[in-house]
Amino acid sequence: MRILNLKQTESFPLDSNLSLHRPTWVEINHKNLKENFFQLSRLVSPKVSILSVVKANGYGHGLVPVAKSLSECGSSFFGVTSLEEALTLKEAHLNAPILILGNIFPNSSLEPAIKNGIRITVASIESARACEEMAIKCGLRALVHAKLDTGMNRIGVNIKNGLDFIQKILEHPSLKLEGIYTHFSGSAEDPKFTKFQIETFTNFISLLSQKKIYAPYVHCANSAALIKYPESRFSLVRPGISLYGINPFQGEKKLKLKKVLSWKSRIVFLKEAPAKTRISYLGTFVTKRASKIATAAFGYADGYRRSLSNKGVVLVNGKRVPVIGRVTMDMTMLDVTECPKVHVGDEVVLIGEQGKETISVEEMAELCQTSAYEIFCNIAARVARVDLV
Ligand SMILES: Cc1ncc(COP(=O)(O)O)c(C=O)c1O
């Protein structure tokens, strides 16, 4: 469910204003999203284009509303996972070029991609050939970006064979080589290997220019590389996670990226429990004292990890409150004994701010031993997205 264009000043509670029948939702702050785009764009020269990575439903933030906001800021390209996402952007009248970052499969998907002018990643000689054949069949020229592998070993042609690959693409008259790119294996955590990948790619681009081979867009920088390695910026950069307010270098002071997503729910049931009360499946939590226990309307089917059972922390009435017992599919129990004025209907913050307290996605990710990327992408489709503009 998507609720659009709510003014940030509008009075809360949001869910009762918006008749949410299940009070678990995320709020997307589009002002902050735009501010992040502007901050990142100030790092690069005006000649460098920005491809906003909006794949995986805009990292869980919502593909179309996110792309619309970024388009208003001047994002000149979008990066998606699949043909479906690319066509969804087209249907929403987003006119900036769209690049599918994955290897297209099956080949039948090439036809709608070519007919809609969607940019195709060619990651092997075979995929370039299949694209050429389909372009001939359509009577059109396919716009392609050649993917070279400099050490990620996911998709792409090993850069050692890159020249031959690029020359083969250029031999196909129905392919227009619009871009050449690679992807880092650890630009936030592994400076040595990142520098090696940048150098390998830079040398390759120099070799191409010696042969008078040029492409309008040469790109490799994801968020971390864009922020830390100016030499990785070439003619286009591809930020994703930083747009959504996550600085891969925590503690880095130059950028003040703003959080875009807050995740909220409500208390739907309250009870007093004497000491020694078992809570939730298998009684993995037993009260040590007379306690006040709240049940809130979120669970693992919303994307709240079951591994947060007896570990997670949420905000209620401006206080940090522990998750107790097993997280269940749709409901989770909280020990609110220390919250004197708690009521059924009170807001629970899973990610975001309440009063003076904050729970960041990074804090949740650390507790789950995962990344902010995975937490965002796993917020379930049934969780309503509310756009604050
Ligand atoms: C090919 C490619 N480019 C760019 C990005 C954006 O990376 P980040 O979110 O770290 O900025 C991704 C994300 O996984 C990607 O797969």
One domain for residues 104 and 135 = yes
Q: Which of 214, 281, 288, 311 is catalytic?
A: 281
One domain for residues 279 and 235 = no
55 as an active site residue: the answer is: yes
* Domains identified in the chain, total number: 2
Q: What are phi and psi of 230, to 5 degrees?
A: -55, -30
Check which CATH number belongs to the domain holding 293 and give it. 2.40.37.10
Q: Is residue 29 part of a domain?
A: no
What mean pLDDT, rounded, does the chain reach? Answer: 94
232 Cβ closer than 6 Å to some ligand 1 atom: no
Half-sphere exposure of 194 (CA within 13 A, CB side): 20
One domain for residues 52 and 173 = yes
Q: Is residue 255 part of a domain?
A: no
Q: Which of 55, 147, 168, 264 is catalytic?
A: 55
pLDDT tens-digit readout, 331-356: 999 999 999 899 999 999 999 999 99
Task: State in Å: Cα 319 to ligand 1 middle.
Answer: 35
Check which CATH number belongs to the domain holding 171 and give it. 3.20.20.10
One domain for residues 290 and 238 = no
Diameter of the chain measured on Cα atoms: 79
281 as an active site residue: the answer is: yes
pLDDT, residue 251, reads 79
One domain for residues 97 and 231 = yes
- Tell whether omega for the bond before 13 is within 30 degrees of 0, i.e. cis: yes
pLDDT tens-digit readout, 192-218: 999 999 999 999 999 999 999 999 999
Query: Among 68, 29, 40, which residue's Cα sits nearest to residue 239?
Result: 40
- The residue length of the chain stands at 389
Structural domain span for residue 307: 261-388
3-state secondary structure of 176: strand
pLDDT tens-digit readout, 45-87: 999 999 999 999 999 999 999 999 999 999 999 999 999 999 9
The string of DSSP letters for 335-374 reads E-TT-TT--TT-EEEEEEEETTEEE-HHHHHHHTTS-HHH
One domain for residues 185 and 93 = yes
pTM greater than 0.75: yes
One domain for residues 169 and 309 = no
Q: Is residue 23 part of a domain?
A: no
Q: Is residue 160 part of a domain?
A: yes
Domain boundary among 180, 210, 244: 244
Which residue, judged by its Cα, is nearest atom 14 of ligand 1? 240
Cα separation, 303 vs 147, in Å, equals 33
Report the atom number in ligand 1 closest to the C-alpha of 248: 10
Which residue, judged by its Cα, is nearest atom 6 of ligand 1? 240
Cα separation, 177 vs 189, in Å, equals 32
Domain boundary among 244, 273, 297: 244
Q: Is residue 21 part of a domain?
A: no
One domain for residues 228 and 272 = no
Residue 11: pLDDT above 70?
no
One domain for residues 88 and 146 = yes
One domain for residues 194 and 300 = no
Task: State in Å: Cα 189 to ligand 1 middle.
Answer: 14
Amino acid sitting at position 244: Y
Q: Is residue 93 part of a domain?
A: yes
Report the atom number in ligand 1 closest to the C-alpha of 242: 11
Domain boundary among 212, 244, 276: 244
Q: Is residue 333 part of a domain?
A: yes
One domain for residues 340 and 306 = yes
One domain for residues 319 and 204 = no
pLDDT tens-digit readout, 113-171: 999 999 999 999 999 999 999 999 999 999 999 999 999 999 999 999 999 999 999 99
Q: Is residue 24 part of a domain?
A: no
Report the atom number in ligand 1 closest to the C-alpha of 101: 1
